[in-house]
Each structure stands twice: as C-alpha cells, then as structure tokens.
C-alpha cells in the first residue's frame, strides 16, 4: 500500500538521523574539521602567543577557523550522494525540499559539534578575555545558522555540475562574505562591550532570506 | 479493473498512460516518441536494443526524469498523480540504484521506510528483505554484499512500500537461478496487486509478461 502520508517531517527527520549515523561511522568530515581547527589554533598560539588585548584579531580568527574547518564538509553533503550514486534512492523516498532540509539540519548539528570542541580550545589557547556569554553564544548560533544555510544551498546547486570545486568557490564567496563580515563585526563588538543588535539582526535576516530562497529552489534542482 | 488492483491502489482505479512520450539528451535521442495505455493489472515487458531508451522510459515513469516531449499520466481514482507524487505509488529498481555502503541492508531499507513515512519501518524492511531471500544477510553492510545480493536489495527496496506500480529495470541481472525463481514468484504476486513493468532483453524475463512494448529506437543514442 503506498504511503500517501509520506510526510515531509518524517522524511527530514529520517534524513537527519541517516546523515548523523553515516558521519559517525565514516568520520568523513568530522576528523578533518577537528584536525584543521586544532592544528590551526595550536599553530597560531605558538606563533603569536596569547592575544588577550587583540579582540579584533580574535574575532576574525574565530570565524576564519570555523569557516575553513567546516566548509568542505558542509558543501559535500550533496556531493557525497552524487558521487556515491545514492541520490536516486534519496529522490525516490523523499521530496527535494525534505532532502535539503534534512541536509541543512545535519549541517547545523555538524557545526555545533565542531564548535563544542573548537570554541573552548580557542578561548583557552588564544587567551581571549571572558566573553559576554549571551551575546557571544547568540552571535555564534546566528552566524552558524547563516553559514549552514549558505553552504547547504551552494552544495545543492553545485552537486550535479562538473568542476564542482571551482564552482563552489565562485558561488560561495559572494554568499559567505556577508556572513563573515557581520559575524566578525558582531564578535569584535561584543568583546569591546558595544552593541551587537545590528549584526545579529543582519545574520538572522540573511539566514531567513537564504532559507526562503532555498525552499523555492530545491524542488527544481534535480530535475534532469 | 480487478478487485486486487483496486485494493492495491487504496480502493481506487489506476491507469498509466504515455502520450507521444520522448526524450533527448542534448543532441542525442534517448527515447523515440511512443504512446501506450495500461489500465489493468498485469505484467508488461519493455524490450529494445541497447540505447533504445528502456532505462530512460523507466526513469521517466518513476518521476526521476522529465521528458523533453509528450507526457506521462498516472491516474488513481480519476485523479492525476503529479511526477513529484509518483514516487509514493511507484516502486523502482534499476542497476543505477545504489545504497549507503556504511549502513547494513536492513538499515538502508529502514531509512527508506522512515523517509517514506511508513508505519512500522523495521517490520516493513524485514518483510521486504525476507521476500527477496535476503533476511539472513539483513545485518550485513552493503559493501559486503555480492552483486547478486545487491540486486535482491534493489528489488526489496522497490517492494518496500507495497506500491501498485512496480518498475523493474533489468531485474534479473546478477541473479542466480534461485534468485530468478524468487523474482518470477514476486512478479506473479505483484501482478495480482497492480502493474508490473519489466525493462529487459532477457527472454526468460519476457516470459513473465503478458504483453510487450518494443522500443524501436535506432539504439546507442543516435545523434539524429
């Protein structure tokens, strides 16, 4: 009997769980991201020492490390399906929108896991001054959401193209620059004791805009 | 319309029709235009030379490929099912169908059942694996399965949600004699519930069908 109630919610949840299980078993992105974050922070720490009074540099360094540690894995969420020839199976069991939302949720979880390890290490090794925790975590969450939305959208668009690597850089730079600029500016401001509302609003609005654009696009992405 | 088919389609009559259906891959012809209508339970073989468009036709019928010419309509209870919804009514197995190597056969099917929103996904997966004789290897990773076992898994995937329309592309490939006997029995059971379409050039598989659609394309994707 066909499943007429093949609800998108069930599909999104199933895809999220499948992604987590696959990542846990293969460590495809997790090990690489953690290795990059730890070696970068250790290297910078050895070279520059503690940057307690350079909060502008701390803000930039935090987001650059997070961006480069996670970007390759985030964008590969769809590429893995294409290269493993499993996209046909996915398309048969879930709508493109459900697939993309499942991937987006996995990317958010992935970013959170990397941040749980990386951020305490960053604060310790760099000698960062105590952050205003509410502002710090709020910016971290909104910046991560925007980063995940942008990289998921780009990953979905480039997954079936040739020359994905070059295309990814070309498409993702204009989408990621506003995220990086707002996140760095907001983080610098929270360490300086200034307001962060403008940056937080920008990151939230940008995430909503990317998500809305994605929901409009996803259903048309994989039509041959 | 038989009572069996009416039951399979949720008590509603079901019809599959192709009107002037054709497809081109750029300059190459993938499927020469053809029309047919199937509205009774039974098994139909789709035959033709290599490159005549058998797999292309199956992908179009499954809703995976948008035809460049003509249209397909699947009607359930007088209501046309869109290409996006067709996956709920259609079971599809083809050589291109791949599964997640890091998951077991059972985990792959449980994931598919969850994504489809089926009730009792574990039971549905176990039942489908048992039907193709793969119950004893349910816990094995897909990477450890032989090509014949993977083919059985593809057929189990197609049967998972008990669809009233079953599309089998080269279903006997890699199967041993026992596997072919199992396949013949499954096709016999499914023809009582709905439609089975088999794309094949294997005479033994033709023998399972009551009617045949022969694709008369010039083969090998001619550029005309």
Q: Residues B144-162: pLDDT tens digits? A: 999 999 999 999 999 999 9
Q: How far is B87 from chain A (nearest CA, A)?
A: 6
Q: Which of A78-92, A147-161, B98-112, B206-220 has the highest mean pLDDT?
A: B98-112
ipTM (interface pTM): 0.90
Give the whole-angstrom CA distance, residue A60 versus residue A184: 5
The answer to whether B117 faces chain A, any CB pair under 8 Å, is yes
Strands B42-48 and B211-215: parallel
Whether A137 is in a domain gets the answer yes
Average pLDDT, integer, range B97-108: 96
Please give the pLDDT value at position B11. 53
Beta-carbon separation of A92 and B87 below 8 A: yes
Whether A224 is in a domain gets the answer no
Domain holding A92, by residue range, is: 8-218
Beta-carbon separation of A14 and B111 below 8 A: yes
Mean pLDDT, chain B, integer: 89
Whether A157 is in a domain gets the answer yes
Whether A97 is in a domain gets the answer yes
Select from A5, A18, A224 the Cβ nearest to the Cβ of B111. A18
Whether A17 is in a domain gets the answer yes
Q: Tally the C-alpha atoms within 13 A of residue B160's C-alpha that lie toward its C-beta.
A: 35
- Nearest residue on chain A to B113, judged by CA atoms? A93
Please give the pLDDT value at position A93. 96
Please give the pLDDT value at position A173. 86
- Nearest residue on chain B to A86, judged by CA atoms? B98
Average pLDDT, integer, range B19-47: 91
Average the pLDDT over each of A63-72, A159-168, B4-13, B77-86 and give the range with the smallest value. Answer: B4-13
Give the whole-angstrom CA distance, residue A178 versus residue B99: 38
Whether A196 is in a domain gets the answer yes
Residue with tokens 């962060």: A196
pLDDT > 90? residue B19: yes
Whether A1 is in a domain gets the answer no
- Nearest residue on chain A to B7, judged by CA atoms? A1
Structural element, H or E, at residue B33:
strand B28-38
Give the whole-angstrom CA distance, residue B216 versus residue B88: 30
Q: How far is B61 from chain A (nearest CA, A)?
A: 12
Whether A3 is in a domain gets the answer no
Beta-carbon separation of B162 and A2 below 8 A: yes
Please give the pLDDT value at position B85. 84
Q: What is the dihedral of CA A151, A157, A162, A163, to 10 degrees?
A: -30
Low pLDDT (below 50) residues in chain A = 1-6
The answer to whether B12 faces chain A, any CB pair under 8 Å, is no
Give the whole-angstrom CA distance, residue B12 versus residue A219: 28
Average pLDDT, integer, range B59-65: 93
Where residue B12 falls among pLDDT bands split at 50, 70, 90? low
Q: How many domains does chain A have?
A: 1
Please give the pLDDT value at position B224. 41
Please give the pLDDT value at position B9. 52
What DSSP letter does each residue of B35-78 carry, written as one string?
A: EEEE-SSEEEEEEESTTSSHHHHHHHHTTSS--SEEEEEEEETT
Contacts of A89 (CB under 8 A, 6+ apart): B97, B98, B99, B108, B112, B157
Best mutation site among B115, B160, B163, B168 for testing chain A: the one with the most A CBs within 10 Å? Answer: B115
Average the pLDDT over each of A152-156, B43-47, B96-100, B183-187 and give the range with the smallest value. Answer: A152-156
């Amino acid at each position: 009997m066909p499943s007429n109630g093949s609800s998108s919610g069930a599909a999104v949840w199933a895809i999220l769980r499948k992604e987590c299980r696959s990542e846990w078993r293969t460590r495809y992105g997790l090990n690489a991201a953690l290795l990059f974050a730890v070696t970068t922070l250790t290297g910078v720490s050895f070279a520059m020492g503690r940057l307690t009074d350079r909060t502008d540099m701390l803000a930039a360094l935090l987001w650059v490390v997070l961006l480069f540690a996670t970007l390759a894995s985030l964008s590969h969420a769809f590429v893995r399906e294409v290269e493993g020839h499993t996209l046909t199976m996915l398309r048969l069991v879930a709508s493109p929108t459900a697939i993309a939302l499942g991937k987006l949720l996995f990317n958010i979880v992935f970013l959170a896991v990397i941040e749980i390890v990386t951020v305490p290490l960053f604060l310790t090794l760099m000698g960062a001054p105590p952050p205003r925790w509410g502002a710090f975590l709020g910016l971290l969450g909104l910046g991560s959401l925007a980063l995940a939305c942008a990289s998921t959208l780009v990953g979905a668009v480039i997954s079936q193209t040739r020359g994905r690597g070059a295309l990814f850089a070309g498409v993702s730079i204009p989408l990621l620059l506003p995220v990086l600029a707002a996140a760095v500016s907001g983080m610098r401001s929270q360490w300086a004791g200034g307001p962060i509302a403008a940056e937080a609003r920008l990151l939230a609005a940008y995430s909503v805009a990317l998500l809305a654009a994605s929901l409009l696009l996803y259903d048309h992405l994989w039509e041959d | 319309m038989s009572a069996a088919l009416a039951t399979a389609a949720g008590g509603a009559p079901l019809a599959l029709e192709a009107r002037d259906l054709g497809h081109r891959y750029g300059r190459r012809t993938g499927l020469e235009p053809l029309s047919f209508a199937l509205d009774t339970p039974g098994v139909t073989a789709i035959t033709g030379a290599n490159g005549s468009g058998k797999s292309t036709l199956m992908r179009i019928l499954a809703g995976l490929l948008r035809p460049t010419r003509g249209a397909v309509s699947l009607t359930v209870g007088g209501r046309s099912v869109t290409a996006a919804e067709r996956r709920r009514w259609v079971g599809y197995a083809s050589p291109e169908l791949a599964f997640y190597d890091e998951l077991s056969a059972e985990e792959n099917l449980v994931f598919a059942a969850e994504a489809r929103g089926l009730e009792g996904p574990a039971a549905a997966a176990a039942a489908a694996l048992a039907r193709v004789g793969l119950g004893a290897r349910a816990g094995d990773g897909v990477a450890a399965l032989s090509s014949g076992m993977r083919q059985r898994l593809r057929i189990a995937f197609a049967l998972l949600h008990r669809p009233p329309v079953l599309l089998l592309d080269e279903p006997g490939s890699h199967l041993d004699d026992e596997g072919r006997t199992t396949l013949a029995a499954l096709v016999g059971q499914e023809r009582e519930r709905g439609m089975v379409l088999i794309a094949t050039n294997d005479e033994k598989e033709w023998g399972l069908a009551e009617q045949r659609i022969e694709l008369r394309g010039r083969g090998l994707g001619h550029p005309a």
